[in-house]
Structure 1
Amino acid sequence: MVGAPCVPIVRLEGVLTDFTWLNEPRNWNVENGVLTLKTEANTDFWRTTFYGFRRHSGHARLQAVSGDFTASVVVRGDYRELYDQAGLMLIIDETHWLKTGIEFTDGLMHFSVVVTNGTSDWSVIPLAQAQPNAEVHIRLTRHEAALRVQFHLGDGPWQMARLCPFSGEDARIGVMACSPEREGFTAQFEGFCLGAPISRDLHAS
């Protein structure tokens, strides 16, 4: 079980060697605790469902995790093109992973969750009131074989976006960004934390 205090993302600058890139972008840096990256062209994580293709080319900065935990981060992005996306990722291997965060579709920012267990699914919550480059807080918790995804905007309360099964003890957790339809999408991540899981009470205030 992870029980250490939260890990600030500034340590991704290379001080903490446990973090590694999956598909490292050419353009990224960490300054004042904020990780900023620009995506490469046609990057994505997806497997088969509906579209028929398999892509594992998105950018993710990850570290090992096992047992129960809570991870959180604050995300901003210049969402403009279809499927621009940024958030958290939990991955076991190329066929078993979860990504969650903001995804731009139908002209709006949406809170998105994709769970892949051999094939991918996709659920979205439209954020009609969200302004471009708005800060979005994302939280992912594992309780045994279940994952709980939450988010909030500004000073609003945490909202649950997904509760789903996710088997497998050892995995990697971190931040991700993709831009299936372009290159140069800019995403920023601040305050990444990894620590002991929050309470199992789904309806706590």
Structure 2
Amino acid sequence: MDDDLRVQPWHGGDWTVPPADVAEDGPDLLVTAIEGSDAWRHTSYGFVHDDAHALLAPLPSPAAVEVTFDLGWDRQFDQAGLVLRAGADTWLKAGVEVSDGVPQVGAVVTLGRSDWSVAPVPEWAGRRVTVRASRSADAVTVRARVDDEPFRLVRLAPFPADAVVGAGPYCCAPTRAGLVVRFRHWATGPADATLH
């Protein structure tokens, strides 16, 4: 699954919403989120937020994008991972979000309205997480892993086949100031050959 990945330079994308601060630390990118930043549309909560900090570059179909970051936060709704974005009402975010005191791996798929699927991963706290989204035809397959463990399937979701998409790392901090995420790696490559 790691064959033929091309590293994306941090300067190779554009921010949807600039974060509070961005700094390169060797090969890593440190991103400080603005308090109240989030990405969500309507469902259950009734609000629309479209100010998460996403660093995006074009992603054709079929293709895959992969983002690695350190899971070093523990405040409610702190989150980081990757985004595929075609517009304000057509996007997918996947990664790790703290909910009810526990890191949760999951995804939000937004096609007009958002949904949310999560699974608790408390054993991932303080470790290095990689999230991968593979886009092909009318679907996106999301996988994630911690350190060098095998990838696990997180989500198979519909996504418009003809959408023009930007993809890359993201973070946001809906409930507090001071979230800093250390991104380690951003790469793109061929779509995954198999579903599982």
TM class by smaller structure? over 0.9
Q: How does 1:44-83 map to 2 (within 5 A)?
A: 44-83=38-77
TM-score computed with the length of structure 2 as normaliser:
0.93
Q: Select the residue among 111, 135, 139 that pairs with 2:128.
A: 135
- Map Cα deviations across residues 7-64 of structure 1 (whole Å, 9 max, x no partner): 424x21x3x3xx1111101311123221111111100000010000000011011011
Q: Aligned pair 1:197/2:196, yes or no?
A: no
Consecutive unaligned residues in structure 2, runs of 5 or more:
none
1:117 maps to which residue?
111
Q: Select the residue among 128, 153, 178 that pairs with 1:160.
A: 153
Determine what percentage of the aligned residue pairs are the same residue: 30
Q: Aligned pair 1:177/2:171, yes or no?
A: yes
- Map Cα deviations across residues 144-166 of structure 1 (whole Å, 9 max, x no partner): 11100001112221100100110
Q: Could you tell me whether the CA contact under 8 Å between 1:100 and 1:114 is conserved in 2?
A: yes
**Residue range with higher mean Cα deviation, 21-30 or 72-81:** 72-81
Measured in 1, the distance between the counterparts of 2:122 and 2:23 equals 31
Query: Which consecutive aligned stretches of 4+ in structure 1 deviate over 4 angstroms post-superposition?
Result: none
Q: Could you tell me whether the CA contact under 8 Å between 1:112 and 1:125 is conserved in 2?
A: yes
Q: SS of the residue aligned with 1:129?
A: helix
1:128: how far off?
2.5
- Map Cα deviations across residues 92-150 of structure 1 (whole Å, 9 max, x no partner): 0000000000100111111020000000000001003223x311111100111110000
1:104 maps to which residue?
98
In angstroms, what is the RMSD of aligned CA positions?
Answer: 1.5
TM-score computed with the length of structure 1 as normaliser:
0.89
1:150 maps to which residue?
143
The residue identity in structure 1 corresponding to 2:91 is W
How many residue pairs get matched?
193
Q: Select the residue among 9, 13, 16 that pairs with 1:22.
A: 16
Q: Could you tell me whether the CA contact under 8 Å between 1:78 and 1:185 is conserved in 2?
A: no
Q: Could you tell me whether the CA contact under 8 Å between 2:71 and 2:124 is conserved in 1?
A: no
Q: Could you tell me whether the CA contact under 8 Å between 2:67 and 2:168 is conserved in 1?
A: no
Q: Could you tell me whether the CA contact under 8 Å between 1:21 and 1:62 is conserved in 2?
A: yes
1:80: how far off?
2.0
The residue identity in structure 2 corresponding to 1:66 is P
